[in-house]
Amino acid sequence: MGLGFLDADGVLAGAVQVPSPNCDERPEHSLVTLLVVHNISLPPGEFGGDAILRLFTNSLDPAAHPYYEALRDLDVSAHFLIRRDGELIQFVPCAKRAWHAGPSSWQGRERCNDFAVGVELEGCDDQAYADQQYPRLAELAAALRGRYPIVDFVGHADVAPGRKTDPGSAFDWGHFRALLARFA
């Protein structure tokens, strides 16, 4: 697969760059120590198209689908999206804070966006993820770990229990961790 170089700003060569305005500066002296795995499909349960890109760039037309009306005033983003075919898209440089975890905490530390990188997988909780997504996620996680002192890889449900369920029961953590170990 061969991901490119992750520069000092956290921009990954080899990823398609689609800049999102939904980000800001991380707090001073905040180290990236966490990777949060999410899932997204728009409309829910449907894959492909440009709706995810439009959501993260504030250009989603609420009239394009009945579900989109609920997203009208939502300003969200992630650092990365991994499509079903393994395509990697970057929305926010890792040195900046993407708006992905919302109210959250990990190991007693609040506001996970301050110290996490958010990776969206095109998918949903109860449908198998595509085979191409796991090695791409492992490769990305290894590249990020090479630049940042990431110690934990968790799901959105782990940092926002009771509020979020992704990446859901369909995500194979064992498979992901086995692939990631190959990069150690």
Q: What is the set of active-site residues?
A: 120
Closest CA to 40 of 95, 92, 77: 77
Backbone angles phi, psi at 35, to 5 degrees: -120, 125
Report the SS3 class of residue 27. coil
Residue 86: CB atoms within 10 A of its CB come to 16
Bridge-based pairing state of the strands 16-17 and 105-106? unpaired
Q: Which helix (H) or strand (E) holds 88?
A: strand 88-90
Spatial distance between the Cα atoms of 133 and 59, rounded to a whole number of angstroms? 26
Spatial distance between the Cα atoms of 164 and 154, rounded to a whole number of angstroms? 12
Spatial distance between the Cα atoms of 70 and 86, rounded to a whole number of angstroms? 28
Provide DSSP, 31-52.
---EEEEEEE-SSTT---SSHH
